[in-house]
Amino acid sequence: MEAQPELPSTEVDTEMEVEDDQIPPSNSKDPPPILRLDQSVVNRIAAGEVIQRPVSAVKELVENSLDAGSTSISVVVKDGGLKLIQVSDDGHGIRKEDMSILCERHTTSKLSKFEDLQSIKSMGFRGEALASMTYVGHVTVTTITKGQLHGYRATYRDGVMEDEPKACAAVKGTQIMIENLFYNMAARRKTLQNSADDYPKIVDLISRFAIHHTDVSFSCRKHGAARADVHSVATPSRLDAIRSVYGVSVARNLVKIDASDNDPSNSVFEMDGFISNANYIAKKITMVLFINDRLVDCGALKRAIERGIDDVLLVSLSDACGKVSLLNQEIIIEKIQSVVELKLRSSNESRIFQEQTMDPSSSSPLATSQDSQKDPSKSGIKSQKTPVHKMIRTDSLDPAGRLHAYLQIKPSNNPERSSCLTSVRSSIRQRRNPKETADLTSIQELINEFDSTCHSGLLDTIRHCTYIGMADDVFALLQHNTNLYLANVINLSKELMYQQVLTRFAHFNAIQLSEPAPLSELLMLALKEEDVAAEDNENDDLKEKIADMNTSLLKQKAEMLEEYFSIYIDSNGNLSRLPVILDQYTPDMDHVPEFVLCLGNDIDWEDEKNCFQSISAALANFYAMHTPLLPNPSGDGSQFYKKGKSSSSIDGQGNSSKTTGNDTTEDEYENDLLSEAENAWAQREWSIQHVLFPSLRLFFKPPNAMATNGTFVQVASLEKLYRIFERC
């Protein structure tokens, strides 16, 4: 959701368009003259930052209405907000004498001296929002205060009121109208017009406000539409508010959660909210989070909750936090995460109970409910994150941010029903053979191994470091306190994947391949690859034999691979599903052949513990964030993509760009390759920043060895660097 920046920054073009003709012609050798920007341009640039898009204007206006003590707020939108945004409230209104400075920058009624900052309760206090709107749109304010017989209306442009306020009829409160937003920012307007319109975002925003501010009634509709798309009525019950906004089926499946801490050395917070139980199946997680009454996004908390419960809809996580500081964010997240897990686990047990009473083959519902309650404790598997019914389920995960063409996440049809069936099936199997899932001490032992060899210093560094960027293809640069570190992302990701496979053991969601891939072909590919290295291309017959043997071996092991690792091999010997090891991450499919060969050749199938250990290691190696096969186009690899390059380009000359003969098609081919490479590298870097490091922070237990084997190297201490600079 927060993957891509919402809007490419277009300010520069916009302002250039306006100012182009003012820049005097210059001799290209001389430095260009430095000009003072016109104040109106400065204001417009600043305004464009406060009001990024229509939905941000709506958010500011609604917050103002809430600050004005309104009990009813209605929003009307035309053309995604570009033509018209109108917010009407029944709040305390604005005095006539304040109307003239209302839209100047830094005018606010909410703060008058610096000390007020500490006690401020309102949503806004910088006095920038309304002013900003007048620089990028046409603003009309109609308002009436208590006890007046009529109201006043005024229009504003570029921070100033255009005329004296005119008397007009008005109902209680304030109505603010923004017309022609970004009329003077051509590039931004164009970008917004080309992308999907903001109306759905506005509906989403108002829905979120509606379930948090339950004492206010909200409505939101398109201009001219008879029906509102959000319509909430003030109610003392949050659940009622959720029902009226998100519907009965969402509200019916919610569980209440509360978490708090009151240990000043640890964290001080209080939260309360609702989370949907396993009966609710959603395509993606919706999280509505208010911290100290402000609507915010918290990626880290979302990921922590998403872990292992991929199709839960978290509806309202509103809080009554005292002091939420970013410093103890991790502690707070951990607390909330464990409360959520506990709640869901208990609510899921009751779900299994209900289903089994529907199953005609089950003997006694009571007995089964006991079974399912006993299991988690008996199993000895430390973190049973996902309920039993999800063991063999395929699910569609939000495909946003994935690039590989080989992979298309197919939404499973009718997920509700199929998951019911598998749930019933798997619990039946469990009863028939309780040993299967209950007695896996081998997994517990493997988990203990990395738990107990954890390096506490590194753990602290990883938990609290800041990711700065990639220093080269393999090492990331991190800062912790005043120290800088280089960390090998391939090693780190491999180890993290290994630990996650064991932690999520038997509870994976699945990635569905867009087309089942025949094992025999994958194995042949991998065997040939090995031979290219060994320069031996003769023995195709032998290879086919090896491929056949391995295929039938893996077909025999299919049931176990599916049940414990979500690696799905069908009866025709096709690979069609792989496990989700980290949410939001799919492995590089170029490594599938190698992985399958590794499953065929390197697994010890005899000894249970070795078997699980070696399969986990094979998965970890496959899912690790290796460098893409195509060389990095922004580094040394750029030579590789020079046009006219043939097989000889490896000679490193790369200056054959003047070749003219068979040009165009080859040109395009190179461009395709180049953009494929750019995509692969950008995708990897995105995953490193947004998936790998946040997950490392939350879940990783760094093994002792990592402190000394070059995975983690301290490169500098800023204190020493400062001292050096001081001397210069």
* Phi, psi for residue 217 in degrees, rounded to 5: -95, 135
**Taking the alpha carbons of 335, 339, 340, 345 in that order, is the dihedral positive or negative?**
positive
Instruction: Give me the least distance between CB of 341 and Mg ion, in Å please.
Output: 38
Neighbours of 56 (CB within 10 A): 20
Nearer to Mg ion, 85 or 476 (CB): 85
Nearer to ligand ADP, 63 or 355 (CB): 63
Binding string, 62-81, against ligand ADP, x = CB under 6 A?
Answer: --xx--x-------------
Is the Cβ–Cβ distance between 66 and 210 less than 8 Å?
no
Scan residues 49-68 and list those touching Mg ion (CB under 5 A).
64
Residue nearest to ligand ADP (CB): 124
Q: Helix 329-358 and helix 299-306: axis angle, to 10°?
A: 30
Among 48, 54, 80, 91, which residue sits at the site for ligand ADP (rule: CB under 6 A)? 91
Rounded Cα–Cα distance for residues 540 and 214 (Å): 71
Partner that binds at residue 65, options Mg ion, ligand ADP, none, CB closer than 5 to 8 Å by kind:
ligand ADP
Instruction: Give me the least distance between CB of 318 and ligand ADP, in Å please.
Output: 22
Partner that binds at residue 110, options ligand ADP, Mg ion, none, CB closer than 5 to 8 Å by kind:
ligand ADP
Nearer to ligand ADP, 115 or 535 (CB): 115
Both tokens of residue 618?
């094979």
Binding string, 27-66, against ligand ADP, x = CB under 6 A?
Answer: ---------------------------------x---xx-
Q: Helix 592-602 and helix 540-556: axis angle, to 10°?
A: 80
Is the Cβ–Cβ distance between 673 and 630 less than 8 Å?
yes
- What is the per-residue DSSP string for 658-705? T--TTHHHHHHHHHHHHHHHHHHHHHHHHHIIIIIHHHHHHH---BGG
Query: Is 127 a binder of ligand ADP (CB under 6 A)?
Result: yes
Partner that binds at residue 573, options ligand ADP, Mg ion, none, CB closer than 5 to 8 Å by kind:
none
Partner that binds at residue 137, options ligand ADP, Mg ion, none, CB closer than 5 to 8 Å by kind:
none
Nearer to ligand ADP, 110 or 283 (CB): 110
Instruction: Give me the least distance between CB of 14 and Mg ion, in Å please.
Output: 24
Nearer to ligand ADP, 168 or 705 (CB): 168
Measured in residues, the chain has a length of: 728
Partner that binds at residue 633, options ligand ADP, Mg ion, none, CB closer than 5 to 8 Å by kind:
none
Query: Is 130 a binder of ligand ADP (CB under 6 A)?
Result: yes
Query: Is 132 a binder of Mg ion (CB under 5 A)?
Result: no
Query: Is 679 a binder of ligand ADP (CB under 6 A)?
Result: no
Rounded Cα–Cα distance for residues 380 and 437 (Å): 10
Stretch that binds Mg ion, among 128-136, 313-321, 410-418, 499-507 (CB under 5 A): 128-136
From residue 614, alpha-carbon distances to 80, 194, 589 in Å are: 54, 50, 20
State the distance between the two ends of the chain, measured CA to CA, in whole angstroms. 46
Nearer to Mg ion, 89 or 371 (CB): 89
Q: What is the 3-state secondary structure (H, E, C) of 576-645?
A: EEEECCCCCCCCCHHHHHHHHHHHHHHCCCCCHHHHHHHHHHHHHHHHCCCCCCCCCCCCHHHHHHCCCC
Binding string, 107-126, against Mg ion, x = CB under 5 A?
Answer: -----------------x--
Rounded Cα–Cα distance for residues 635 and 631 (Å): 8
Instruction: Give me the least distance between CB of 349 and Mg ion, in Å please.
Output: 47
Among 9, 10, 100, 108, which residue sits at the site for ligand ADP (rule: CB under 6 A)? 108
Among 62, 129, 210, 575, which residue sits at the site for Mg ion (rule: CB under 5 A)? 129
Rounded Cα–Cα distance for residues 388 and 326 (Å): 35
Among 74, 174, 368, 461, which residue sits at the site for ligand ADP (rule: CB under 6 A)? 174
Q: How many residues bind ligand ADP (CB under 6 A)?
A: 23
Partner that binds at residue 89, options Mg ion, ligand ADP, none, CB closer than 5 to 8 Å by kind:
ligand ADP
Partner that binds at residue 127, options Mg ion, ligand ADP, none, CB closer than 5 to 8 Å by kind:
ligand ADP
Rounded Cα–Cα distance for residues 306 and 272 (Å): 18
Instruction: Give me the least distance between CB of 218 and Mg ion, in Å please.
Output: 17
Across 239-382, where does the E strand assignment appear?
254-263, 267-276, 289-291, 294-296, 317-318
Query: Is 462 a binder of Mg ion (CB under 5 A)?
Result: no
Across 133-215, where does the E strand assignment appear?
138-144, 151-157, 160-161, 166-168, 173-179
Rounded Cα–Cα distance for residues 209 and 217 (Å): 10
Query: Is 89 a binder of ligand ADP (CB under 6 A)?
Result: yes
Is the Cβ–Cβ distance between 175 and 88 less than 8 Å?
yes
Rounded Cα–Cα distance for residues 656 and 645 (Å): 7
When computed from its CA atoms, the radius of gyration of the chain, rounded to whole angstroms, is: 30
* Phi, psi for residue 158 in degrees, rounded to 5: 45, 45
Query: Is 501 a binder of ligand ADP (CB under 6 A)?
Result: no
Partner that binds at residue 94, options Mg ion, ligand ADP, none, CB closer than 5 to 8 Å by kind:
ligand ADP
Query: Is 260 a binder of Mg ion (CB under 5 A)?
Result: no
Binding residues for ligand ADP (CB under 6 A):
60, 64-65, 68, 89, 91-94, 102, 107-110, 124-131, 174
Binding residues for Mg ion (CB under 5 A):
64, 124, 129
